[in-house]
Structure 1
Amino acid sequence: MNSTVSTPIAFDYPQQDASGLTCTAQAWAKVPAPLTDVQKQSVLARIRSELIARKAVLIAHYYVDGAIQDLALETGGFVADSLEMARFGKNHPAQTLIVAGVRFMGETAKILSPEKTVLMPDLEATCSLDLGCPADQFALFRSLHPDRVVVVYANTSAAVKAQADWMVTSSCALAIVHQLHQQGKKILWAPDRHLGSYIQEQTGADMLLWNGACIVHDEFKGVELELLRAQHPQAVVLVHPESPSSVVAQADVVGSTSAMIKAVVDGNAAEYIVATDQGILHRMRQLAPGKHLIAAPTAGQSATCKSCANCPWMAMNGLQGILQCLEQGSGEIDVPEPTRSNALICIERMLDFTEHHPELLAKAQHGFVKNIGAA
């Protein structure tokens, strides 16, 4: 059984250099070969057996295939956003962590748990934000602004995190930057320009922004969302803050993946328009089966796909890759020293903040602008 099928499709993403200039670069993705129902059941059975035999645990992001999310939950693993994935992997007693997501998530797990074996279904599953912020160029850029506190988004390599004062995720970025601003700090932010702009607007912080973008969220269209809202006037609009400002401006809630799920589960509305990767809809439907979920538009009426928000690299996670990890030990993540130890500092600083400042996180959840929820 072939494990993957290569695809010739190239994905454009912005890449900045140390001078601040941005070019359009390209990357590629591949997808797991499709399985028949019989093959799928066989692979699932073997994975369940191997997880037990190897005392391993499966940790999955909300954006990966629904079958992988279900398998993680069924076998005592976890499905979450990047912050909760990091916490779970660190605290779980398993000595082998299978991380179904993209490479920076596996690296973060290894940074927090160097004594554990961290495996990924495909080491080439990456992220346009990670690709768009090369560690060497970021180092040069950072050296030009020594007076700024360096805050990097989780969607970066270990080598970039090793240069940062703080790492943040979309669930805690607003609260942390707000506190830094209250302390009078000037900030160097990388790499997502949309999330950075949103936080800058919400907090008023002095932020110098790296020019990166998520290829999924960057494609949401403000004009098309406005038309969709007119068709569903009672729908609550949920937007991930990596989206363009024209989309964020129309949101009832701006938040991380976990915040969006909470909004659907706890909300009273019958309809929700969701502007993030469509992988999240699987878990939303499970937790809120009575709600009508509508994928936000990424293209105009003439497009082949009206709403096609799917990360090509998240899609590289397949059941076959998980089985290969377990049976062959493939896809092992290694973060060498001193990169690991240096990166650990900014990650632990974030984890300490989220543990000891729940009141600031709660304040951020209500937003600093009326009717706008927080990242």
Structure 2
Amino acid sequence: MNSKKWFSALSLSILAVTGAEAQQFPSYTTDVVTDAIEMPWGMAWLPDGDMLVTDRNGELYRVSDGEVSEPLAGVPEVHVNGQGGLLDIEAHPDYASNGWLYLTFSDPEGNGEGSNTSVMRAKLNGNRLTDQEVIYRAMENSNRGQHYGGRMVFDADGYLYFSIGDRGDHFTNVQNLSRDGGKIYRIMDDGSVPEDNPFVHIPDAIPAVWSYGHRNPQGIAINPETGEVWNSEHGPRGGDEINIARAANNYGWPYVGYGINYNGEPLAEDSHGAGMEQPIWYWNPSIAIAGIEFVDSDHYPELSNNLLVGALAGTRLVLLEVWEDRVIRSTDILTGIGRVREVEQGPDGYIYLAIEGGGIHRLLPAE
């Protein structure tokens, strides 16, 4: 059975088991929180409700009641290079007590010319970042502008997961556990490595690696029902994927995939491979999948525990209906809204969208 028929059969079997029918969702719209940030990439919130927003061009802003501050000082030097720049931002789950913020960025420090993805933690004092400490720096640097990854999420146990893409050198980096790139990582909040990480005792393997065989993970979120790490990743021409990133799993890139090379020639050897995981959902053609977020909010009871997906080239917000560890249906919630780089649920329960060239928007029912 080919893969498209397999996914269709899977959906039908799940619907039969659950008795579910196609749900009719309300219409949605957005209001503009601010349009003053050119290339928003990541969002995080402070205890007072203010929002911190990274701009990929290398600036960090504080947004309070729609008003945008001047760029904050103390931001690390970034190598604005293709897809690189100042990337994600996360507040520590216990931020109110310890004040730690986490940023990912294309770091020009390290071995070789160019840059690679780093994770930094810092504290915000007034309008300046202080106490900066790089807790993970990927090696080796590269002048290539592709696939820095850079998404982060904390789980309920306080572990920090983050992604680094293949850096445009997939045959060298991705399947090699001793090289950074094409992987999802798990570390402690201070950068140390948990003793139960899957490759800690593998000779020459990078101990922070959690899973591998990823191309360019651009979204990462924790499923509130299962506690598992879900990620989205770009395929080439076709084959954008949703995966559940489980410990030690190999997701196949570049040997397994559903897309072709940008020159129109085959790239992955096949859509399946021994010992390589299948995506739980994929798009062909690609929508240039980006940030993802599970919804857990009284503002959107109809979306509860389902996954929202932002699309860049697809300029849309997509809802994936989730049942346990499966996706059973895809529905476009908004279309033609611009390149949706990130999707986050704020502490007020509203969903916020970071849109390239469009600033920060808030999702609302149309009525």
Q: TM-score, normalised by structure 2?
A: 0.28
Q: TM-score, normalised by structure 1?
A: 0.27
Report 1 or 2 for greater relative contact order, CA contacts < 8 Å, sequence distance ≥ 6. Answer: 1
**Higher percent of residues as helix:** 1
